[in-house]
């Protein structure tokens, strides 16, 4: 078995991993680089972007663009695998983006929508065989819903590729039992390390964050929250926080579609994903779906406005002109609070991923930061490594500081690779 990390040994996002055995190849993730990162040109990859793909397959850990965004650069015949709910969410996102006014961007997303039609889905623990290689997906918690680790087996070796994961989300209680049950006799771990040099990255769990929002919604009548539409668990937490605080929950039609995908597929497993969409039967904590007409701004019209003003609300917003009039109107009130619930690096002009348009959108307002990371903190990484005890070592990926692994996990064998190195897993 041979392992090559084509990109990702010293950067977050845009990672591509190849595992080869007996002429068969599986690739894990093929995404865009994150905004603001140094552009690292990716060389053509045999069996993925050119050549014979009859013995290849691409597995996607989750739907974030830095993991799936380059699927249209693959050879059309290569099989691609992703989780069922993840694919539905990704399709909803890309279908929406395919209608944006920018012709170049919309054309790009139309190509992705067409590619999505050919993608295969899998279920957790389903064994998928590509020649001599067996891949088993393990369902884990991440800020993207329906995310997976992969166990890859070939030539009597077992590799665990962690993808992006964390230990402080709503579904993280299954992490350790899953690893204890299925990630036995692992030879190598390919591990993400997004937070390896951010010791305070995880200050709160998602459960604690939900309680914080609930307290804020009780205190403040009009609440606006900017949150990523694909940060599914955060949005469901905001819904429950609103309902418990007896505030109405307001989002737009696109966000409603995303929530319904998850609810329909997973509410049978937990009431956390069950939303009451019937506005006639739910007297408190009502759910309102704002439907936008063409390119007009959102507004509370007719009877909706006095209803919401009497009961108060939590409204999900994005940094577009469509939401500006509503925020401007209510920002004048002492009963209004505006929350930012995404990574703060997007608002920091000293960070590579600084988003100037996002910064300007929030510049007129006083905002409160409420967020927790979608990635594992150092303590969670340490716990995972100690439980699995890989026989030969840990290979850092998805990190800007791979050398920190040796410094922090000094009792583990750390194998540092460079992009493009071919590592023989003997």
pLDDT in tens, 2-15: 999 999 999 999 99
Judge whether residue 296 has pLDDT over 80.
no
Q: Please choose, from the candidates 15, 11, 62, 90, the residue with its C-alpha nearest in 3D space to the C-alpha of residue 166.
A: 62
| Other beta carbons within 10 Å of 31 | 23
101 pLDDT higher than 90: no
pLDDT per residue as tens digits for the range 23-72: 999 999 999 998 777 777 889 999 999 999 999 999 999 999 999 999 99
How do residues 139-184 score in pLDDT, each as one tens digit?
999 999 999 999 999 999 999 999 999 999 999 999 999 999 999 9
For the cut 70, the answer to whether the pLDDT of residue 281 exceeds it is: no
pLDDT at 202: 66
**pLDDT tens-digit readout, 324-349:** 999 999 999 999 999 999 988 889 88
Q: What is the pLDDT of residue 40?
A: 75
Q: How far is CA 5 from the centre of its chain?
A: 21
Mean pLDDT on 203-222: 96
pTM: 0.95
Per CATH, which fold does 206-369 belong to?
A: Rossmann fold (3.40.50)
> What are the phi and psi torsion angles at 374 (to 5°)?
-90, 5
Span 375-385, mean pLDDT?
Answer: 95
State the pLDDT confidence band at 185, using cuts at 50, 70 and 90: very high
**Domains of the chain: which residue ranges?**
2-198+374-424, 206-369
Q: What is the mean pLDDT of the chain?
A: 93
Nearest to 155 by CA among 192, 187, 128, 109: 187
Q: What was the pLDDT predicted at 345?
A: 87
CATH class in words for 2-198+374-424: alpha beta
Q: What percent of the chain has pLDDT over 70?
A: 96
DSSP string, 358-378: HHHHHTTS-EEE----SS--H
233-251 per-position pLDDT tens digit: 999 999 999 999 999 999 9
Question: Angle CA(139)–CA(344)–CA(365) in degrees, nearest 5?
Answer: 130
- Binned at pLDDT 50, 70 and 90, residue 198 comes out as confident
């Amino acid at each position: 078995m041979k392992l090559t990390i084509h990109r990702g040994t010293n950067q977050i996002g845009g990672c591509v991993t190849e595992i080869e055995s007996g002429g068969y190849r599986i690739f894990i993730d093929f995404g865009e680089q994150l905004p603001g990162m140094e552009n690292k040109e990716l060389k053509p990859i045999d069996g993925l972007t050119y050549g014979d793909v009859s013995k290849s397959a691409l597995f996607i850990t989750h739907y974030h663009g830095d993991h799936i965004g380059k699927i249209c650069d693959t050879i059309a015949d290569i099989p691609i695998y992703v989780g069922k709910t993840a694919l539905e969410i990704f399709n909803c996102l890309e279908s929406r983006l395919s209608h944006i006014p920018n012709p170049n961007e919309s054309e790009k997303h139309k190509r992705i929508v067409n590619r999505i039609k050919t993608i295969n889905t899998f279920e957790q623990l389903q064994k998928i065989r590509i020649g001599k290689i067996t891949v088993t997906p393990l369902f884990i918690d991440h800020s993207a819903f329906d995310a997976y680790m992969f166990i890859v087996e070939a030539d009597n070796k077992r590799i665990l590729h962690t993808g992006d994961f964390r230990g402080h989300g709503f579904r993280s209680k299954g992490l350790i039992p899953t690893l204890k049950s299925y990630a036995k006799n692992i030879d190598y771990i390919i591990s993400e390390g997004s937070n390896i040099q951010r010791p305070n990255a995880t200050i709160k769990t998602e459960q604690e964050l939900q309680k914080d929002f609930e307290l804020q919604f009780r205190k403040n009548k009009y609440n606006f929250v900017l949150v990523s539409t694909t940060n599914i668990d955060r949005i469901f937490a905001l819904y429950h926080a609103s309902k418990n605080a007896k505030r109405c929950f307001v989002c737009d039609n696109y966000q409603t579609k995303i929530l319904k995908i998850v609810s329909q597929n997973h509410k049978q497993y937990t009431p956390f994903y069950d939303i009451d969409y019937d506005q006639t039967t739910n007297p408190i904590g009502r759910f309102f779906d704002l439907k936008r007409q063409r390119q007009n701004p959102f507004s509370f019209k007719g009877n909706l406005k006095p209803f919401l003003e009497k009961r108060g609300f939590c409204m999900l917003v994005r940094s577009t002109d469509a939401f500006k009039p509503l925020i401007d109107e209510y920002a004048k009130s002492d009963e209004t609070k505006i929350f930012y619930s995404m990574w703060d690096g997007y608002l920091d002009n000293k960070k590579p991923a600084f988003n100037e348009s996002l910064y300007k959108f929030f510049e007129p307002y006083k905002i409160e930061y409420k967020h927790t990371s979608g990635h594992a903190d150092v303590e969670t990484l340490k716990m995972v490594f100690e439980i699995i005890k890989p026989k030969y070592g840990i290979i850092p990926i998805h990190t800007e500081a791979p050398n920190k692994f040796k410094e922090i996990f000094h009792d583990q064998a750390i194998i540092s690779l460079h992009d493009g190195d071919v590592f023989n897993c003997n």
